[in-house]
Amino acid sequence: MKKVFCRLLEDDRGAVTVDWVVLCAGVVLMAVVIFDAMQSGSLGLADSITAYMDGWDF
């Protein structure tokens, strides 16, 4: 059992894959946060424009 455990610790074949998965997860998380911030700002701007234009008569 000790031999199998030592061999498992020395094996690094999946290390690059784990690095890429963590990197991609970070990029996706950053994109979601940026999208949320842009959505909130856009909705706030749209509400401000609507409030400004409510008094206009055409």
**Given a cut of 90, is residue 40 above it in pLDDT?**
no
Domain assignment present for 1: no
User: What is the C-alpha to C-alpha distance for residues 18 and 8, in angstroms, rounded to an integer?
Assistant: 16
Angle, vertex CA 55, rays to CA 50 and CA 58, nearest 5: 100
Residue 50 has pLDDT above 80, yes or no: yes
Q: Indicate the pLDDT class of residue 26, thresholds 50, 70 and 90.
A: very high
Q: Is residue 31 part of a domain?
A: yes
Q: How many CB atoms lie within 10 A of CB 5?
A: 9
The answer as to whether 4 is a domain residue is no
Range of the domain at 46: 14-51
CA distance 28 to 18: 15
Q: How many domains are contained in the chain?
A: 1
Residue whose pair of structure tokens reads 């031999």 in the numeric block: 3
Does residue 44 lie in a domain region? yes
For the entire predicted model, the pTM comes to: 0.56
